[in-house]
Amino acid sequence: MNPCMSTPPVSTPFPQIAVRCEGVTKSFGTGAAAVQALRGVDLEVRTGELLMLVGPSGCGKTTLISVIAGVLRRDGGACEVFGQDYLAITEQETTRFRGKRIGFVFQAFNLIPTLTAAENVSAPLVIQGMSRKPAVARAREMLRQVGFDERMQDSSPVDLSGGQQQRVAIARALVHQPNLIVCDEPTSALDSETGRKVMELMRELAVATNRALIVVTHDARIFEFADRIARMEDGRITGIETLKTNAASAAETRSA
Amino acid sequence: MIRQYFLPVLALAGLILGIAVAVNGSKKVTPAAAVSAPAQSPYTVFVAGSGLIEASSENIAIGTLVGGVVAKIHVQTGSRVKAGDPLFTLDDRTHRAEIKLRESSVKVAEAQLADAKDELAFNENIEDKAAVSAEDTNRRRHAVRIAEAQLAQAQTQLAGAMTELDKLTVRALVDGEVLQVKVHPGEYAPAGVLGTPLMMVGNVAPLHVRVDVDEDDAWRIRSGAVATGCLRGNKDIRTPLKFVRFEPYVLPKRSLTGDSTERVDTRVLQVIFSFERGELPLFVGQQMNVFIDAPARVFTPEPVKPAREESVSR
Amino acid sequence: MYYYALKMLIGDRAKYIGIIIGLTFASLLITQQSAIFAGIMTRTFSFLTDVSLPDIWVVDPQVQYIDDIKPMQDTKVLRIRGVKGVEWAVPLYKGALRARLENGTFQTCLAIGLDDETLIGGPPRMVAGRLSDLRRSDGVILDQNGAEGKLARSGPDGRRIPLKVGDTLELNDHRVYVVGICEVTQTFQANPVIYTTYSRATTFAPQERKLLSFVAAKAKAGEDAETVCARIREVTGLMAYTPERFKELTFYYYLKYTGMPVNFMTAVALGFIVGITISGQTFYNFTLDNLRYFGTLKAMGTSNRTLLKMILLQALIVGGIGYGLGVGLASAWGALLGGRTQIAFYLPWQLLLITAAAILCICLSSAALSIRKVMKLEPAVVFRS
């Protein structure tokens, strides 16, 4: 049995290590065509922290969060997420771990167009085995929390604006109370105003409840929402910058 | 939501219709029962044959020696007759007239004879031999002989006419029963072999069954075999049969179709069995299903030595 | 999750209906063509279906199928009666006779001569009169379709007047009386059927040396019909079949010597192929369209097993609906047309299962492609836009 599953860590007010990576390597392809995507990445993410991962495209950002989120297996190095090494457990257990512990926000939202907003949000709960009715009820609650228009809860995602869709996506990422939220370019499909609003919401809902957030972006407009910014280049982390200004308080002042 | 269930409900209805059609179409055809149950053999190993009931004397088709118009029928169908009993008589008026004529001819001849005898006696009774010539006496003596001969002739002719008359009355030649009468007073009865006999007579105690057996099965029947006959149409009318004889000639079976030609079907061995009718409603001419007990019979072939081989060995 | 799988399926109306149309078409084509084929095939041996009392049929060894009549000698009945294990054996005549109609035209009829004594082999259902009425002289029994159709008189206003009990008919120059009307399973040639006695039938029949078409026999209780058949073959040199074997013989004859089965099988195969191409491809496209969402679900923690079940469910749902619609359409077609036009349509329950299996096969093979795709899908794709 997976010890992690039997004793789930509760979010504590004290910062703890959410993700620890040491010398993580990953390559795609074989032989001459092989591409070394990660060349030994060291990274630590604590709970209650919003880490941004920036860098030119092709630098391995997406590969790194894929490894951290457990959707891609690393080649070498060590990586633990809440003390769990994916390589030590089966793929099936990894899938279960993801379903329980990790929330996803995608660049293209990836909302299922044939389901309503509320149903989309309820998916992670249903995946974990909750029956549909209570899951949808929880999803509606979550949608209210993210400030989603209640009249739109039963609309199809295709009828929603980009910002509304991303709110639904965020609600979906949060509904099952995950410990780590992985966001891939959450604002690139949004205009800057909507992007800011979405980031504010993320800080509020995610960081405030003592989770860890990893946001991959090259949208400089939202850098200010980060606690730390890790720069990546050519499969390595070239530098981590801790923002002096409390991005959260800055956001609060701005919204005030 | 209605739209969502429309297709599945329609599909379900389709499936139900399909099952209904299938169930409806797969109704078993109940076979028509046999109108009368087929006869079954009481023996385990047997030969089946089809039999025709006939009189033990065989069915005698009565014919007449001479043709003529029937004047009188002496019997009815079913009458028991003894040998010599008259069956029917043809018109005999001509013959009776002829007899009368012959009778008178006899009388004439008798009278002539008497006359001739008297004349001879007159001459012979004369004492004086010279009074009559010897020639005259001789002539008279001859006249008597002629008259005698003429009388005999007339008598024979009368007897002949009597026989002719008697021929007009057809008689039974065996004891038996009249099975069929196909001739009536006033009808012309031709002489010779007829398609439909004038009358059929046969001995019905006991009755015989003439059983046709396929030639391929013939070898299986032993002389003296027991058999059971079931009446066609009612298998419960059955009677044990006693072996009488084989017809020694295997003959082609004819199927009478009523058409202008007859078909030769196959060759059959005929076996004759007898049985007592008793109270059974069986009649001559009826068909019977006959089962002949035929226990397995094995013939081991004698080794046949080809003549040529022998000559070679020599 | 399965509810969401269904919503995903039904939500994509164009593809959903496209897949169903493909499957409906396949199911309709397979069911309908097979049913017509089955109908025609059962008609070829409808005589055996109707005359179900005997369980042994003895024919000349050269006979290749039921309508291939090679007459035997009359006495063969007697020989067969004498074979061990035979309870009874009766002669049957089957042949074509020409009936002259009132208006002077001729109609070929199927004449069946029953054993004079037992009348075994009579029609399964009498509409008017009794089977035993055949014992009346010159009596015949007509089948209803013939009496109302091809043999019917035409009235002064041109309407057809069906033949009734008591009417007369002319068969090969013999005048016969209708003593009964019966119902029979439609024959292959769809000619009117005339029942009469064996001896009468042979009288009507054209001149031939041998006229015995079949010997119908029954095995004694407790005797295996097949064993008795073998014994009859051995003893008499004739061919003896159980009704099933005889039907098979007929079926395989048509299979071997006519293009009919190939034709129908082609149609069925076509249905199958069209089903697989239309539905399979549409279903695969549907899965490809939704691949992103399957990836998302996979990333969010849906196990491969659940995804597999979701796709299977989707496939089975469209399969079930397509199957139901197709079978329904085929049945409706058969029920509507079959009732009116005497068209050959026979839908045995086995056929429903066969169609179900074919549709299941289509669905599973379509789903297999999709499942393969989804199983091999790396959840990491969700991060690639």
This model of the complex carries an ipTM of 0.84
Selected residue with higher pLDDT from A12 and B222: B222
Please judge whether A108 and C385 are an interchain contact, meaning their C-beta atoms are less than 8 angstroms apart.
Answer: yes
Residue C308 is predicted with a pLDDT of: 92
pLDDT band at A4 (very low <50, low <70, confident <90, very high): very low
Rounded-to-integer distance, Cα C294 and Cα C304, Å: 10
- The whole-number pLDDT of residue C327 equals 92
pLDDT of residue C295 exceeding 80, the answer is yes
Tell whether the model's pLDDT for residue A15 goes beyond 90.
Answer: no
Name subunits touching A (3+ CB pairs < 8 A).
C
Least confident of A95-99, B41-45, C31-35: B41-45
Banded pLDDT at C147 (limits 50, 70, 90): confident
Q: Give the mean pLDDT of C269-286.
A: 88
DSSP string, chain B: -HHHHHHHHHHHHHHHHHHHHHHHHTPPPPPPPPSSPPP--SSSSEEEEEEEEEETT--EEE--SS-EEEEEE---TT-EE-TT-EEEEE--HHHHHHHHHHHHHHHHHHHHHHHHHHHHHHHHH-S-TTTS-HHHHHHHHHHHHHHHHHHHHHHHHHHHHHHHHHHTEEE-SSSEEEEEE---TTSEE-SS--SS-SEEEE--SSEEEEEEEETTTGGGPPTT--EEEEETTEEEEEEEEEEEEE-SS-EEEEE--SSSS-EEEEEEEEEEEEE--TTS---TT-EEEEEEE------PPPPPPPHHHHHHH-
Determine whether the interchain pair A92/C299 forms a contact, defined as Cβ–Cβ distance below 8 Å.
Answer: no
Alpha carbon distance C118, C139 (integer Å):
15
| Confidence check: pLDDT of C324 > 90 | yes
Contact C360/B at CB under 8 A: no
* C384 in reach of chain A (CB within 8 A): yes
Confidence of residue B273 (pLDDT cuts 50, 70, 90): very high
Residue C27 C-alpha, separation from nearest chain A C-alpha, in angstroms:
28
Measured between its terminal Cα atoms, the distance across chain B in Å is 108
| Closest to B207 in 3D by CA, of B244, B249, B235, B250 | B244
pLDDT at B257 over 70: no
For the stretch A53-88, pLDDT in tens is: 998 888 888 889 889 988 888 888 899 898 888 888
Q: Does B295 touch chain C (CB under 8 A)?
A: no
Query: pLDDT band at residue B204, thresholds of 50, 70 and 90?
Result: confident
Q: For strand C239-241 and strand B188-189, is the pairing parallel, antiparallel, or unpaired?
A: unpaired
H/E element, C214: strand C214-219
Angle between helices A132-145 and A117-127 (to 10 degrees): 120
pLDDT at residue C309, rounded to an integer: 92
**Residue A1: per-residue pLDDT:** 38
Dig out the tokens for C60 from the structure: 């000349």
Cis peptide before B206 (omega within 30 of 0): yes
Per-residue model confidence as pLDDT tens digits over C162-201:
888 888 888 888 888 899 998 887 777 778 889 998 888 8
| pLDDT 10s digits, A213-246 | 899 988 888 888 888 899 998 888 888 888 765 4
From A136-150, A235-249, B226-240, C189-203, the region with the lowest mean pLDDT: A235-249
Flag whether pLDDT at C139 surpasses 60: yes
C354-to-B28, C35, C272 alpha-carbon distances in Å: 21, 11, 12
**Beta-carbon separation of A124 and C301 below 8 A:** yes
Percent of chain B having pLDDT more than 70?
Answer: 90
Q: Contact C327/B257, CB-based, under 8 Å?
A: no
The answer to whether A170 touches A146, Cβ cutoff 8 Å, is yes
Q: Kindly tell me whether chain B and chain A come into contact, counting contact as 3+ Cβ pairs under 8 Å.
A: no
Instruction: Give the dihedral sign, CA C358/C360/C362/C368.
Output: negative
**For the residues C251-260, what does the mean pLDDT come to?**
84
C partners (3+ CB pairs within 8 A) are: A, B
Interface of C with A in 302-361 (CB under 8 A): 302-304, 306
Which residue out of A59, A106, A120, A179 would a mutagenesis test of the C interface target, given it has the greatest number of C Cβ atoms within 10 Å?
A: A106
Q: DSSP states of B83-128 as a string?
A: TT-EEEEE--HHHHHHHHHHHHHHHHHHHHHHHHHHHHHHHHH-S-
**Mean pLDDT score across all residues of chain C:** 86
CA–centroid distance for C236 within its chain: 33
pLDDT confidence bin for A2, thresholds 50/70/90: very low
Domain A48-70+90-255 is found in CATH 3.40.50.300: yes
Domain boundaries, chain A: 48-70+90-255
- Both structure tokens of C152: 């019917």
Percent of chain C residues topping a pLDDT of 70: 98
Asked if C219 and C55 count as a contact pair (C-beta separation under 8 A), the reply is yes
Residue A139 has pLDDT above 50, yes or no: yes
Q: What is the pLDDT of residue B267?
A: 79
Residue of C75, C76, C185, C351 to mutate, interface with B, max B Cβ within 10 Å: C75
Give the pLDDT confidence score for residue A11 in this predicted structure. Answer: 45
Output A41 or A250, whichever has higher pLDDT: A41
Which residue matches tokens 């299962």? C353
Q: What is the pLDDT at residue C385?
A: 54
* Residue C324 contacts B where some CB pair is shorter than 8 Å: yes
Nearest CA in chain C to A96: C301
Q: What's the mean pLDDT when you consider all of chain B?
A: 83
Structure tokens at B243: 């072996």
Cβ(B72)–Cβ(B88) under 8 Å?
Answer: yes
Give how far B54 is from chain C: nearest CA, Å. Answer: 20
Q: Which of C1, C378, C383 has its CB closest to that of A65?
A: C383
Average pLDDT over residues C258-280: 87
Residues of chain B contacting residue C179, judged by C-beta atoms under 8 Å apart: none
Q: Contact C149/C160 with Cβ under 8 angstroms?
A: yes
Q: What gap in Å lies between CA A177 and CA C314, rounded to an integer?
A: 30
Best CA proximity match to C324, nearest among B98, A232, B231, B15: B15
Interchain proximity B35–C81, CB inside 8 Å? no
Nearest to C297 among A71, A96, A123 (CB): A123
More confident residue, B54 or B128: B54
Angle of helix C349-375 versus helix C13-44 axis, rounded to 10: 150
Identify which of B21, B30, B253 has the shortest CB distance to residue C75.
B253
Q: In terms of C-beta density within 10 A (0-12 exposed, 13-18 middle, 19 or more buried), how is residue C316 classed?
A: middle
- Chain C residue whose CA is closest to B44: C84
pLDDT tens profile B65-77: 888 899 889 998 8
DSSP, res C186: P
C-chain CB neighbours of B256 within 8 Å are none
pLDDT at residue A250, as a whole number: 41
3-state secondary structure of A78: strand
**Residue C168 CB neighbour total at 10 angstroms:** 12
Interchain CB contact of C292 with B (< 8 Å): no
